[in-house]
Structure 1
Amino acid sequence: MAKILPFSLTVLSLALLSACSDKAPTQTVTQNEQTAVVASSAQQVVAPIAKKVPFEMEVHGDKRIDDYYWMRDDKRENPEILAHLEAENNYTNAQLAHTEKLQADLFEELKARIKKNDDSVPVKKGQYFYSTEMRGDNEYPIYVRSSDVKGSNKEVLLDVNELAKDHAYYQISGLDVSPSGQLMAYGEDKVSRRVYTLRFQDLTSKAMLPDVLEGTEGDVVWANDNKTVYYIKKDPQTLLGYQVFRHTLGTAQSEDQLVYEETDNSYYTGIGKSKDGSVIYISHGSTESSGISVIDANNPKAMPQRLIPREKGLEYEASKLGDYYYITTNWDAVNFRLMKVHQDQLGDKANWQEVIPHRADIKLEGITLFNNHLVYQEREKGQTSIKVRDLTTQKEQSLSFNDPVFATYMYGNSELDNPSLRVYYTSLTTPGTHYDIDLVNGEKNQLKQQEVLGDFNADNYASERIFIKARDGVEVPVSLVYRKDKFKQDGTNPLYQYGYGSYGATMEPRFSSTRLSLLDRGFVYAIAHIRGSQMLGRPWYDDGKKLTKQNTFNDFIDVTKALTSQGYASKDQVFAVGGSAGGLLMGAVINQAPELYKGVAAHVPFVDVVTTMLDESIPLTTNEYDEWGNPNDKTYYDYMLSYSPYDQVKKQAYPNLLVTTGLHDSQVQYFEPAKWVAKLREHKTDNNKLLFKVDMEAGHGGASGRFKGLKDSALEYAFILDLAGKNTL
Structure 2
Amino acid sequence: MISITAPVAKKVPYEIVTHGHKRVDDYYWMRDDTRTDPEILAHLAAENSYVDAKLAHTSELQETLFEEIKARIKKDDNSVPTKRGNYFYASQMQGDNEYPIYIRSTDFSGSNTEVLLDVNQLAKAHDYYQLSGLRVSPSEKVLAYGEDTVSRRIYTIKFKDLSTGELLADELIGTSGNIEWGNDNKTVYYIKRDPQTLLAYQVFRHTLGTPQANDELIYEEQDKTFYTFMSKSKDNSSVIIWHSSTETKSASVIDANSPKATPIEFIPRETGIEYSIAKMHDWFYISTNWQAQNFRLMKVHKDKVGDKSNWQDVIAANDNIKLDDFELFNDHLVYQQRENGLIRVTVRQLSTGKEQQLSFNDSAFNLGLYGNNNLDNSALRLYYTSLTTPYTDYDVDLTTLEKTQLKQDEVLGDFDSNNYASERIFITARDGVKVPVSLVYRKDKFKKDGTNPLHQYGYGSYGSTIDPRFSFSRLSLLDRGFVYAIAHVRGSQMLGRPWYEDGKKLTKNNTFTDFIDVTKALVAQGYGDKDNVFASGGSAGGLLMGAVMNMAPELYNGVHAAVPFVDVVTTMLDESIPLTTNEFDEWGNPKNKEYYNYMLSYSPYDQIKKQSYPNTLITTGLHDSQVQYFEPMKWVAKLREYKTGDNILLFKTDMESGHGGASGRFKGIHETALEYSFFIDLLK
Task: Call closer, same or farther: CA 1:266–1:254 in 2, change over 3 Å.
Answer: same
What is aligned with 1:669?
628
Equivalent residues in 2 for 1:194-273 (5 A)? 194-273=153-232
Residue by residue, what CA displacement relative to the aligned partner does 1:271-311 show, whole Å, maximum 9, x if unpaired?
11100100110000000001000000000000000010000
2:407 to 448, 451, 459: 448
| Alpha-carbon distance between aligned partners in 1 of 2:64 and 2:125, rounded to the nearest angstrom | 28
| Alpha-carbon distance between aligned partners in 2 of 1:321 and 1:225, rounded to the nearest angstrom | 21
What is aligned with 1:13?
none
1:87 to 24, 30, 46: 46
1:145 to 104, 116, 127: 104
Please say which of residues 182-191 and 168-177 is displaced more in the overlay.
168-177
Residue 638 of structure 1 aligns to a residue whose secondary structure is: helix
User: Shift in Å at residue 724 of structure 1?
Assistant: 1.2
| Alpha-carbon distance between aligned partners in 2 of 1:382 and 1:171, rounded to the nearest angstrom | 33
Equivalent residues in 2 for 1:97-112 (5 A)? 97-112=56-71
Residue 712 of structure 1 aligns to a residue whose secondary structure is: helix
What is aligned with 2:358?
399
What is aligned with 2:72?
113
User: Shift in Å at residue 207 of structure 1?
Assistant: 1.0
What is aligned with 1:524?
483
* 2:539 aligned with 1:602: no
Residue by residue, what CA displacement relative to the aligned partner does 1:501-546 show, whole Å, maximum 9, x if unpaired?
0000000100001000000000000000000000000000000000
What is aligned with 1:4?
none
Residue 253 of structure 2 aligns to a residue whose secondary structure is: strand
| Alpha-carbon distance between aligned partners in 1 of 2:375 and 2:181, rounded to the nearest angstrom | 19
What is aligned with 2:456?
497
| Alpha-carbon distance between aligned partners in 1 of 2:380 and 2:435, rounded to the nearest angstrom | 32
| Alpha-carbon distance between aligned partners in 2 of 1:692 and 1:280, rounded to the nearest angstrom | 44
2:666 to 698, 707, 710: 707
| Alpha-carbon distance between aligned partners in 1 of 2:673 and 2:66, rounded to the nearest angstrom | 5
User: Shift in Å at residue 86 of structure 1?
Assistant: 0.3
Residue 499 of structure 2 aligns to a residue whose secondary structure is: helix
1:648 to 607, 625, 632: 607
1:390 to 349, 358, 366: 349
What is aligned with 1:73?
32
User: Shift in Å at residue 174 of structure 1?
Assistant: 3.5
| Alpha-carbon distance between aligned partners in 1 of 2:675 and 2:626, rounded to the nearest angstrom | 21
1:301 to 257, 260, 267: 260
Equivalent residues in 2 for 1:318-467 (5 A)? 318-467=277-426
* 2:141 aligned with 1:182: yes
| Alpha-carbon distance between aligned partners in 2 of 1:592 and 1:519, rounded to the nearest angstrom | 28
| Alpha-carbon distance between aligned partners in 2 of 1:430 and 1:724, rounded to the nearest angstrom | 28
Residue 638 of structure 2 aligns to a residue whose secondary structure is: helix
Residue 386 of structure 1 aligns to a residue whose secondary structure is: strand
| Alpha-carbon distance between aligned partners in 2 of 1:325 and 1:209, rounded to the nearest angstrom | 36
What is the one-letter code of the residue matched to 1:340? K
Q: TM-score, normalised by structure 2?
A: 1.00
Residue 242 of structure 1 aligns to a residue whose secondary structure is: strand
Unaligned runs of 5+ in 1: 1-39
Partners of 2:298 and 2:315 within 8 A in 1: yes
Equivalent residues in 2 for 1:554-593 (5 A)? 554-593=513-552
User: Shift in Å at residue 175 of structure 1?
Assistant: 1.1
What is the one-letter code of the residue matched to 1:99? T
| Alpha-carbon distance between aligned partners in 2 of 1:545 and 1:559, rounded to the nearest angstrom | 19
1:548 to 507, 517, 522: 507
| Alpha-carbon distance between aligned partners in 2 of 1:416 and 1:724, rounded to the nearest angstrom | 54
What is the one-letter code of the residue matched to 2:329? F
Residue by residue, what CA displacement relative to the aligned partner does 1:200-222 show, whole Å, maximum 9, x if unpaired?
01000111100000000101100
| Alpha-carbon distance between aligned partners in 2 of 1:229 and 1:237, rounded to the nearest angstrom | 25
| Alpha-carbon distance between aligned partners in 2 of 1:184 and 1:443, rounded to the nearest angstrom | 35
User: Shift in Å at residue 46 of structure 1?
Assistant: 1.0
| Alpha-carbon distance between aligned partners in 1 of 2:236 and 2:334, rounded to the nearest angstrom | 20
Residue by residue, what CA displacement relative to the aligned partner does 1:391-433 show, whole Å, maximum 9, x if unpaired?
0000000000001110100000000001000010000000000
| Alpha-carbon distance between aligned partners in 2 of 1:124 and 1:341, rounded to the nearest angstrom | 28
Residue 112 of structure 1 aligns to a residue whose secondary structure is: helix
Residue by residue, what CA displacement relative to the aligned partner does 1:645-689 show, whole Å, maximum 9, x if unpaired?
000000000000000000000000000000000000000011101
User: Shift in Å at residue 166 of structure 1?
Assistant: 1.3
| Alpha-carbon distance between aligned partners in 2 of 1:429 and 1:241, rounded to the nearest angstrom | 39
What is the one-letter code of the residue matched to 2:425? I
What is aligned with 1:8?
none
* 2:22 aligned with 1:52: no
| Alpha-carbon distance between aligned partners in 2 of 1:571 and 1:136, rounded to the nearest angstrom | 42
User: Shift in Å at residue 585 of structure 1?
Assistant: 0.2
2:430 to 435, 454, 471: 471
What is aligned with 1:539?
498
* 2:260 aligned with 1:282: no
* 2:51 aligned with 1:131: no
| Alpha-carbon distance between aligned partners in 2 of 1:186 and 1:353, rounded to the nearest angstrom | 38
| Alpha-carbon distance between aligned partners in 1 of 2:110 and 2:542, rounded to the nearest angstrom | 43
Residue by residue, what CA displacement relative to the aligned partner does 1:588-644 show, whole Å, maximum 9, x if unpaired?
000000000000000000000000000000000000000000000000000000000
| Alpha-carbon distance between aligned partners in 2 of 1:338 and 1:164, rounded to the nearest angstrom | 43
What is the one-letter code of the residue matched to 2:73? I
Residue 541 of structure 1 aligns to a residue whose secondary structure is: helix
What is aligned with 1:690?
649
Residue 700 of structure 1 aligns to a residue whose secondary structure is: coil
| Alpha-carbon distance between aligned partners in 2 of 1:166 and 1:265, rounded to the nearest angstrom | 36
Residue 137 of structure 1 aligns to a residue whose secondary structure is: coil
How many residues are treated as equivalent by the alignment?
A: 684
| Alpha-carbon distance between aligned partners in 2 of 1:413 and 1:379, rounded to the nearest angstrom | 21
* 2:300 aligned with 1:317: no
What is aligned with 2:683?
724
Residue 102 of structure 2 aligns to a residue whose secondary structure is: strand
The percent identity for this pair of structures is: 70
What is the one-letter code of the residue matched to 2:116? L
User: Shift in Å at residue 152 of structure 1?
Assistant: 1.3
Residue 102 of structure 1 aligns to a residue whose secondary structure is: helix
What is the one-letter code of the residue matched to 1:577? S
Residue by residue, what CA displacement relative to the aligned partner does 1:124-145 show, whole Å, maximum 9, x if unpaired?
0000000000000000000000
| Alpha-carbon distance between aligned partners in 2 of 1:277 and 1:337, rounded to the nearest angstrom | 25
| Alpha-carbon distance between aligned partners in 2 of 1:299 and 1:228, rounded to the nearest angstrom | 9
| Alpha-carbon distance between aligned partners in 2 of 1:646 and 1:629, rounded to the nearest angstrom | 17
Deviating above 6 A after TM superposition, structure 1's stretches of 4 or more consecutive aligned residues are none
What is aligned with 2:128?
169
User: Shift in Å at residue 366 of structure 1?
Assistant: 1.0
Residue 628 of structure 2 aligns to a residue whose secondary structure is: coil
User: Shift in Å at residue 721 of structure 1?
Assistant: 0.4
Residue 722 of structure 1 aligns to a residue whose secondary structure is: helix
* 2:156 aligned with 1:191: no
What is the one-letter code of the residue matched to 1:415? N
Unaligned runs of 5+ in 2: none
Partners of 2:92 and 2:100 within 8 A in 1: yes
Residue 531 of structure 2 aligns to a residue whose secondary structure is: coil
Partners of 2:571 and 2:577 within 8 A in 1: yes
Residue by residue, what CA displacement relative to the aligned partner does 1:163-201 show, whole Å, maximum 9, x if unpaired?
111111011014110011000100000000011000001
Q: CA RMSD in A?
A: 0.5
| Alpha-carbon distance between aligned partners in 1 of 2:564 and 2:166, rounded to the nearest angstrom | 43
Partners of 2:133 and 2:179 within 8 A in 1: no
